[in-house]
Structure 1
Amino acid sequence: MTNFIFILADDLGYADLGCYGGRKPVSPNLDRMAARGIRFTQGYSNSPVCSPTRFGLITGRYQYRLRGAAEEPMTGRFRGSTEIGLPPAHPTLPSLLRERGYRTALIGKWHLGYPPHFGPEKSGYEYHIGPLSGGVSYFSHVDRMGKHDLVRDGEPVNYDGHYLTDLLTDEAETYLRARAGDRQPFLLSLHYTAPHWPWETRAQGRSNPETDQDIRHLDGGSVHVYGEMIKALDEGCGRVLKALDDLGLAEDTVVIFTSDNGGERFSDTWPLVGGKMDLTEGGIRVPYIVQWGDRIAPGSVSAQQCMTMDWTATMLDIAGVPAHPDYPFDGVSMLPVLREPAHEFPRELFWRMNYRSQRALRDGPWKYLAVEGNEYLFDLSVDERERANQARREPERLARMRSRCDDWDAVFGAIPADARSELVYTDKDMPSR
């Protein structure tokens, strides 16, 4: 049977890695992973913000099907909520695999609702260590509300001073050694918090008490700090990949690497524009790198359009596990592309956000985008920067794609008016994009 490791970075920009055109030498291990496997150039996240994408991943469905995934960022103010979270009764990637004899673990960020009503152990993971909220200090592990947020199987655990990226890597290596011993198939969800704020590097050695009071610290960070955070993430991925080789697990393990959304303030998204919170390409286009022993031709590149929830369908397809009949997948399996990288097939991808009244549709090379009542039509095959609005030149195509968005919106109903993502900065804090 096939094992799965899904590595999820947090707020990583499309071009932050060398294999995606990055301008800094920060990702030798992930670049090597791409050289051993396949890299997708037209891959997207389910959302331009963290939590909704994670709902899409764990369910294999558009997040808009669940109230808890409408748009909220799952901050500490939702502790105790009975509504804002992943319902334990909903089938998930780990629960479906676990029913087929898989061992399942989430090492890293959860961000899908708080105990006692929600949690990793209630949704298919037999083991978890990591934070429950969005962003936490890398050293003291406190969240935005100033609460300690690092748990193991639902109970607080203290690793004060241990750099979180390294702690998660250590845990992943330990988990892999245990799995090599029992030879049961496994799913390891390795969800790093890097390079999400706070802007803290391993070299600091400890957190700053001032930044722990406001871990977003808008006046902190730099391109250099951000690069060092990616280096630590890349080193962690390298250690995990080496462990697979050393333990003899690499040939039978599918490893998928991506980000939960586009990059934030210091990230590189060239040639794309926008970033986290935006439905422009910089907010939703993300790296996808897949390694699977010798089953994927080394150095492959695919322009197949894909989305976070597709990888849930893909992993379950490889494992021979169908979707629950009452919860069919919206995601589409990428297994045919992994087998034959030149294979491509048409599909539509949709997004929407209450924030700035955004919605978007990608269909082939064309993208329909609406922001605050303004409509845009871009041919991304020649205009990835979304600067040449074709709406006036292509009125019929615009009307057609708008109508498709309307039809799709009607399936899910309106986003609740009180579902709002919280900006990590305000317009006056940051220059125009």
Structure 2
Amino acid sequence: MADDLGYADLSCYGRRDYTTPVLDGLAAQGMRFTHGYANSAVCSATRFGLITGRYQYRLRAGLEEPLGNPALGLPPEHPTLPSLLRELGYRTALVGKWHLGGLPNFGPLKSGYDEFWGNRGGGVDYFTHEVGDNHDLWDGDVRVEQVGYYTDLLAERSIRFLEERAREQKPWLLSLHFTAPHWPWQGNDAAGRAESARLDKVSEPGVLNITHYDGGTLQTYADMVTSLDANVGRILRRLSELGMERDTVVVFTSDNGGERFSDTWPFSGMKTELLEGGIRVPFIVKWPGLAAPGSTSDVPALSMDFLPTFLAAAGGAPHPDYRPDGIDIRPALSGGRLPERTLFWRFHNKDQKAARRGAYKYLSMGGNEFLFNVVEDPLERGNLKNRLPDTFAELKAAFDAWNAGMLQAPDVSSFGWTPQILADRYGQPPAP
């Protein structure tokens, strides 16, 4: 999983100013979804959906977008993708970003992962691995220090996990959650190290110094994404060398739409918005023997679909008290269709609501309501609310009925992250 990678930030999805040959190659070996969605327009909420297979709005901590309240997190007793697979004999590991609650009450090792190496918060400096005055690099529950560019280090740790698994006759799950290309925008070069030093110099104790309102360039962003691509290549090469390629499912996606330097064409909107650019993401699955090489699918799929899909493939079943909202998408991966369903999103900023069924999407933003055909009108320019009143009413009613069964968001003022910090596209520091 990439962090803040927009729909068209890979060349196989349309990026024009740089190329991503490794991930293009992964798509050529499997299926590329053109209607793949993140569970949310920001990171923590999507990660709750991914790990639980359920709408994040079923959990109090899932209402924080992203999670900024230190008292909240993923309850250890909640079944998760790694915990359910571990019960089936899988060795499980998370390498990279957690962002689902901090110690002592929450953490990867409390929620089904046998191993964890990475950062607990939302992002870190790529060289110092710090946020303000907080060093956020962990091996299990122990803080560690290691020299290196963070994207490289995550790949190296993942390769180590694969090498250890090659010596065992045991199935495994590796969740590799990069922070790239999330800010701070720092390439793995002299300019990136200089930017890291600058941020460190202006940092104050207790201040989140990586929000980077005045930083970054298109070239830096390209360097970060191509570094991500190259490091995925290192991992896939080692997987092949170890003889495990034919028996491994590989998924690549993003936690939400892109930010300042991202390409979301042909969509409008970005991270923090329920326009397609904020929630439509790269969604690639290489599944030997199931997904035909070089295939594409226009079937809508969501982050939370991976838990029921992987669990069914492993011969397991969900916990009866925590039925997933996602579904098994293997029929789509084999070239077929899925039963028609309605997908839902909420986001507190601008009081946003969205529901998609078939080609049609209901959207409410800032008190304005819309109906779009996102197949024929992916830019969401033609409001069909008055032309198709029955479809509009049906989707709005479906959203209201679904929303009544979800937890309701607290007041925005209680959130640990202000909108300015949440999406640094505002281009100015948070108001005092």
How would you bin the TM-score normalised by the shorter chain? over 0.9
1:111 — aligned with what?
99
1:6-405 to structure 2, matched below 5 A, reads 8-75=1-68, 78-79=69-70, 81=71, 84-143=72-131, 145-160=132-147, 162-204=148-190, 206=193, 208-212=196-200, 213=203, 214-338=209-333, 340-405=334-399
The structure 2 residue matched to 1:429, chosen from 417, 427, 430, is: 427
Following superposition, the deviation at residue 295 of structure 1 comes to 3.4
Aligned partner of residue 230 in structure 1, secondary structure: helix
1:414 — aligned with what?
408
Whichever residue aligns with residue 26 of structure 2, its letter is: M
Following superposition, the deviation at residue 262 of structure 1 comes to 0.3
Instruction: State the distance in 2 between where 1:354 and 1:216 align.
Output: 20
Instruction: State the distance in 2 between where 1:303 and 1:327 align.
Output: 29
Following superposition, the deviation at residue 268 of structure 1 comes to 0.3
Is 1:36–1:299's contact at 8 Å kept on the other side of the alignment?
yes
Whichever residue aligns with residue 199 of structure 2, its letter is: T
Instruction: State the distance in 1 between where 2:128 and 2:139 align.
Output: 16
Whichever residue aligns with residue 109 of structure 1, its letter is: K
Of the structure 1 ranges 204-213 and 225-234, higher mean CA displacement relative to structure 2 is found in: 204-213
Following superposition, the deviation at residue 428 of structure 1 comes to 5.5
Aligned partner of residue 202 in structure 1, secondary structure: coil
The runs of 5 or more residues in structure 1 that have no matched partner are 1-7
1:4 — aligned with what?
none
Instruction: State the distance in 2 between where 1:61 and 1:428 align.
Output: 31
Whichever residue aligns with residue 422 of structure 1, its letter is: T
Whichever residue aligns with residue 22 of structure 2, its letter is: N
Whichever residue aligns with residue 195 of structure 1, its letter is: P
Is 2:55–2:325's contact at 8 Å kept on the other side of the alignment?
yes
Whichever residue aligns with residue 427 of structure 2, its letter is: D
Instruction: State the distance in 1 between where 2:75 and 2:86 align.
Output: 17
Post-superposition CA distance 1:355-376 (Å, at most 9, x none):
1100000100000000111001
Instruction: State the distance in 1 between where 2:426 and 2:167 align.
Output: 55
Computed over aligned residues only, the root mean square deviation of the Cα atoms, in angstroms, reads 1.5
Whichever residue aligns with residue 14 of structure 2, its letter is: G
Is 2:117–2:138's contact at 8 Å kept on the other side of the alignment?
yes
Aligned partner of residue 133 in structure 1, secondary structure: coil
Is 1:136–1:142's contact at 8 Å kept on the other side of the alignment?
yes
Post-superposition CA distance 1:328-364 (Å, at most 9, x none):
00001111122x2143432110000111100000100
The runs of 5 or more residues in structure 2 that have no matched partner are 204-208
Whichever residue aligns with residue 128 of structure 1, its letter is: F
Is 2:213–2:424's contact at 8 Å kept on the other side of the alignment?
no
Post-superposition CA distance 1:385-425 (Å, at most 9, x none):
00111112112221111111110110114212245453335
Following superposition, the deviation at residue 73 of structure 1 comes to 1.9
Post-superposition CA distance 1:229-273 (Å, at most 9, x none):
001110111111111111111111111100000001100000101
Change (3 A) 1:225 1:429: same
Whichever residue aligns with residue 290 of structure 1, its letter is: V
Following superposition, the deviation at residue 21 of structure 1 comes to 1.1
Change (3 A) 1:177 1:413: closer
Aligned partner of residue 9 in structure 1, secondary structure: coil
Instruction: State the distance in 2 between where 1:426 and 1:98 align.
Output: 38
Change (3 A) 1:123 1:364: same
TM-score (norm 1): 0.93
Post-superposition CA distance 1:40-80 (Å, at most 9, x none):
000100000000000001100000000011023234xx34x
Post-superposition CA distance 1:181-210 (Å, at most 9, x none):
112100000000000000101113635233
Is 2:353–2:363's contact at 8 Å kept on the other side of the alignment?
yes
Which portions of structure 1, spanning 4 or more consecutive aligned residues, are displaced by more than 6 angstroms? none
Instruction: State the distance in 1 between where 2:400 and 2:12 align.
Output: 37
Instruction: State the distance in 2 between where 1:22 and 1:317 align.
Output: 34
Is 2:117–2:139's contact at 8 Å kept on the other side of the alignment?
yes
Instruction: State the distance in 2 between where 1:392 and 1:349 align.
Output: 22
**Among the aligned pairs, what percent are the same residue?**
51
Instruction: State the distance in 1 between where 2:288 and 2:379 align.
Output: 35
Instruction: State the distance in 2 between where 1:180 and 1:141 align.
Output: 29
